[in-house]
Amino acid sequence: MSIKTGDPIPEASFKRMTSDGIVDISTRELFEGKKVVLFAVPGALTPTCSEVHMPGFVEHLESLKAKSVDTVACVAVNDVFVINEWRKLRSIPEDIVMLSDGNGEFTARIGLELDASRFGMGTRSRRYAAVVDDGVVTYLGVEPAGQVGVSGAEAVLKELG
């Protein structure tokens, strides 16, 4: 069963690359007392994720922050090294928090796994965007396969008013 609007974010942790190396960040640290836009991609460096989904959040980053959003974060079921290289190759600003859910534990806890094994990618995350206010989901847009609509930055901006 997948997470839905009104549900709290479960306890989990992510890996994140910083100037000091790899650090863990818990869902509590990420969401407690903050308004966070969290968006998930099936795979760093994949065409739709790199050419459509991520660019929208880069383009609209300041507009999202102007809507009282404290943090914009991207999560993928990729290792932290791949996530970090994606940031470098695509010039993703440091203001977008890049999170590795390398083992897919967070993704499984929220019930948004994607079986991408037919593409040789194993279990990944479905494409979605969520607005999380103090640890509670207030918006969740989960995409049908191959689409970027309800999970795009424009949809999130509309949701935020």
Q: Which residues are annotated as catalytic?
A: 49
DSSP element (H, E) containing 30: helix 27-31
Contact 27, 12 (CB under 8 A): yes
Please give the structure tokens belonging to residue 160.
């935020």
CA 32 to chain centre: 16
User: Which residues, 6 or more positions from 116, have their beta carbon under 8 angstroms from its beta carbon?
Assistant: 42, 43, 122, 123, 124
